[in-house]
């Protein structure tokens, strides 16, 4: 078993020390003193703290720092490919750990038809321009989310005050 702390490199059990947890998936362990140094990146690939003793321990101790922010659900500016459609898609991006559910955006990515949108997204944008009640258009990833979108930092989120840590099992 690994007995060296991922952060400080010291023997975890030296001088009566205790383990802060062990992750079988990532084969890593931290001493109890280094647990406060853990970050969201240290949660294992399963991305399910309930499946992993270490990640469960880390998640419990990091709860305030593990709650995703609006930035975590947006496409990073450096990841936006302006050579393809830049429409925002949210289907398939639901995060059911929130109550009510929050969505993660992604870029459409289809070939450009007109301006910066593919043919389907052009039609959706036109329909939304004619009638803002049409919910098939969710905007561009280069713009702020529309007020009614089920995303953090929108008017909808301000009104609904979604809560994190909802069990998904």
Given this model, what pLDDT does residue 157 score? 95
The confidence score (pLDDT) of residue 37 equals 62
* Co-location of 76 and 153 in the same domain: yes
**pLDDT tens sequence for the chain (169 residues):** 556 776 667 776 666 666 655 555 555 666 666 666 665 444 454 445 445 555 555 555 555 555 788 888 899 999 999 999 999 999 888 888 888 999 999 999 999 999 999 999 999 999 999 998 888 999 999 999 999 999 999 999 999 999 887 454 4
Q: Is residue 85 part of a domain?
A: yes
Please indicate, yes or no, whether residues 27 and 98 belong to a single structural domain of this protein: no
Q: What is the pLDDT of residue 95?
A: 85
Phi, psi of 4 (to 5 degrees): -105, 130
**What's the confidence (pLDDT) of residue 28?**
62
Q: Is 87 left (phi over 0), alpha (psi -120 to 50) or beta?
A: beta
Residues 74, 61, single domain; the answer is no
Residues 81 and 23 occupy one common structural domain: no
pLDDT given at position 41: 46
Q: Which range of residues forms the domain containing residue 37? A: 14-66
pLDDT in tens, 146-162: 999 999 999 999 999 99
Indicate if 91 and 137 belong to the same structural domain.
Answer: yes
Are 57 and 80 in the same domain? no
Residue 88, beta-bridge partner list: 107
Neighbouring CB atoms inside 10 A of 30's CB total 25
Nearest to residue 69, comparing CAs of 160, 157, 129? Answer: 157
Q: Locate 113 and state its tokens.
A: 């038809």
Q: What pLDDT, on a 0 to 100 scale, did the predictor assign at position 6? A: 64
Split into its structural domains, the chain has a count of 2
Largest pairwise CA distance in the chain: 71
Residue 1 falls inside a structural domain: no
In a domain, 81, yes or no: yes
Locate 140 and state its tokens: 């561009």
CA–CA separation, 3 and 11 (whole Å): 6
Tell which phi-psi region holds residue 26, choosing left (phi > 0), alpha (psi between -120 and 50) or beta: alpha
Q: Are residues 51 and 131 in the same domain?
A: no
């Amino acid at each position: 078993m690994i007995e060296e702390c991922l952060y400080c490199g010291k023997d975890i059990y030296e001088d009566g020390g205790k383990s802060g947890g062990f992750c079988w998936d990532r084969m890593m362990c931290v001493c109890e003193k280094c647990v406060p140094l853990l970050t969201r990146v240290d949660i294992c690939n399963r991305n399910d703290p309930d499946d992993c003793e270490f990640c469960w321990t880390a998640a419990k101790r990091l709860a305030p720092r593990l709650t995703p922010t609006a930035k975590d659900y947006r496409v990073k500016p450096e990841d936006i490919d302006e050579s393809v459609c830049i429409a925002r898609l949210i289907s398939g991006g639901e995060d059911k750990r929130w109550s009510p559910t929050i969505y993660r955006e992604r870029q459409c990515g289809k070939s450009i038809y007109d301006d910066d949108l593919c043919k389907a997204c052009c039609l959706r944008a036109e329909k939304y321009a004619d009638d803002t009640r049409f919910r098939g258009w969710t905007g561009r990833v280069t713009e702020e989310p529309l007020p009614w979108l089920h995303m953090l930092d929108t008017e909808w989120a301000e009104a609904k005050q979604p809560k994190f840590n909802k069990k998904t099992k």
